[in-house]
Each structure stands twice: as C-alpha cells, then as structure tokens.
Amino acid sequence: MSQLAVEGLRAEQAAVVELFKSLSAEELAAPSDCAGWSVRDVLAHMANSQHGVVDPAYLPDMSQDVEGAMENPVALRRDLAFDEVLEEFETYSTQAMNVFVMAQDDPMASTMLPMGKLGTHPMSILPAVFLFDTYCHLRNDVLQPHGPIDRDEPPRDEQRLRPTVEWMLAGLPWMCADELAPLLDRPIVLTLDGPGGGSWTIAPGGDDGRVAITEGADANAAATVRSNDHDFVIWGTQRRPWEGMTKIDGDDAYAAAILDVVNVI
C-alpha cells in the first residue's frame, strides 16, 4: 500500500507543477477554498511541507494547534516571487520523494514516528500523509467546483485515492479522539465506493481510549454510512457538510452525531 502511495504522490506532485505553471497572476491571487489563503498561498503551504521532509527545521510545530501552525510558513512566503515558491516545491518534492522511497524498507518502514496531534505512525505511511495533503488542497481548495481555478482535474485513480483514504482512517482515531470517544458506544460501518473504497468498522475499544478502525463491515453495527472515496476527502476534512455526500442506513441520529465530529486535518 505504501509503495502505491509513492507512485500516487509522484503523479500528484507532477500535476501540481503542471497546473501552477499554467496559472496567470490573477488566478494565483484568487481566493482559494482554504479560508484566508490565495491559490498561491496553497502552493506555499505545500512547498514548505515538502521542504520540511528534507530539512526538519522547516517543519511547523504541530504538537498543539495543527492548522494554526501552518499559517506562519505561508505568510513568510508572500514576500517571495512566485517562481521561487514554485521552485521550492519542485526541488523539495523531488528530494522528499527520495526519503519516502527509503521509508518503504526496514528499519525505517517500521520505525514509529510521533506526529503531534496527527498521532504516532510507522514511517512507511509518510507518502500517504503527503498524498492526502496534496490531493485535498489541489482538488478542493484550488480546482473548481469549490476552488476558483477552471482546469481539468487529474485522474481519481487507485494510486491516489487508496493511500489517501488509508491515511485518513489511520489518523482519524488520533485527530478526533476527544470528540469521538464520548459518543461512540456502538460500532458503525463506513462504506466507500470508488478505487480507494472499501468497508471499515469504527468501534469503541481502541488503544489509549481512542476508537478502533478495522477493515470489513460489522454485521451488528448500529448504522452504515455510505459515500465515495473522493467525497470522503471533502466531508471528512469538514470542507463541506457530510449531508448530501452520504447515505445512512440504520440509526440515523447516532450516525449523524458521529459524522458531525469527524475532522481529518
């Protein structure tokens, strides 16, 4: 799965470079769907993230406020020429890919990496983390229908979507621990259509008070939530409401309460 993420991230990074090289000054200055950020700012965020893989001094402190930690690196790049920001993304995404490839083999692959509010995970999952971030920013915040840019969307294929969903489900018990634990007293099933889809059971009883997410559908679940893999990226990050992108079978009120607090960052 993580090798698939390497290939998916490589393809998504190339799509980002191709898109941003095509944008006019007016398009770069347009407000993205990420509140307070222009389209150019979204690239600045992604450039800093890739730079941080190669040089940890560029990594923001995500131990407390993850989203707030992203603001300063973006602000610092507003004084740079756009070509410098794009060059930073191109240069460090290539170098970061070398790190991600090495992280697929032991001992790096199984080394556990603390990631603040995002949880602690094996290093092999790193390309999926950055694929999720790139996929989400490009597809929702920059491109239409939610972003301002009118260009063809890259493929929604397995190499991009399966690792993206994998990371979202791996991170969800950590990111939503305080909100989910008091609510989740019976299992629910999440079923996603699409090349990154499948069925997973979300249940109480995970490690350290977190919920547990396991592959497969529990026949005794209180409810089943159905969606598709791409839409899950959108509503699972609370960029858009889950209503209208999901169908609930079973205990509607219980499932709705759970969906209200799902927020992958």
Looking at the predicted structure, is the pLDDT value of residue 63 above 70?
A: no
Three-state SS for the chain is: CHHHHHHHHHHHHHHHHHHHHCCCHHHHHCECCCCCCEHHHHHHHHHHHHHHHHCHHHCCCCCCCHHHHCHHHHHHHHHCCHHHHHHHHHHHHHHHHHHHHHCCCCCCCCCEEECHHHCEEEHHHHHHHHHHHHHHHHHHHHECCCCCECCCCCCCCHHHHHHHHHHHHHHHHHHCHHHHCCCCCCCEEEEEECCCCEEEEEECCCHHHCCEEEECCCCCCCEEEEEEHHHHHHHCCCCCCCCCCCEEEECHHHHHHHHHHCCCC
Q: What is the pLDDT of residues 145-198, one digit of tens each?
A: 999 999 999 999 999 999 999 999 999 999 999 999 899 999 999 999 999 999
59 pLDDT tier (thresholds 50, 70, 90): confident
Query: How does residue 205 score in pLDDT terms, banded at 50, 70 and 90?
Result: confident
Closest C-alpha to 142, from 242, 230, 41:
41
What per-residue confidence (pLDDT) applies to 29?
Answer: 98
User: Which domains are delineated in the chain?
Assistant: 2-160 (1.20.120.450), 176-261 (3.30.1050.10)
pLDDT-derived band at 217, boundaries 50, 70, 90: very high
pTM of the model: 0.93
What average pLDDT is seen over the chain?
94
Q: How confident is the model at residue 2, as a pLDDT?
A: 78
Residue 64: pLDDT above 60?
A: no
pLDDT at position 68 is: 62
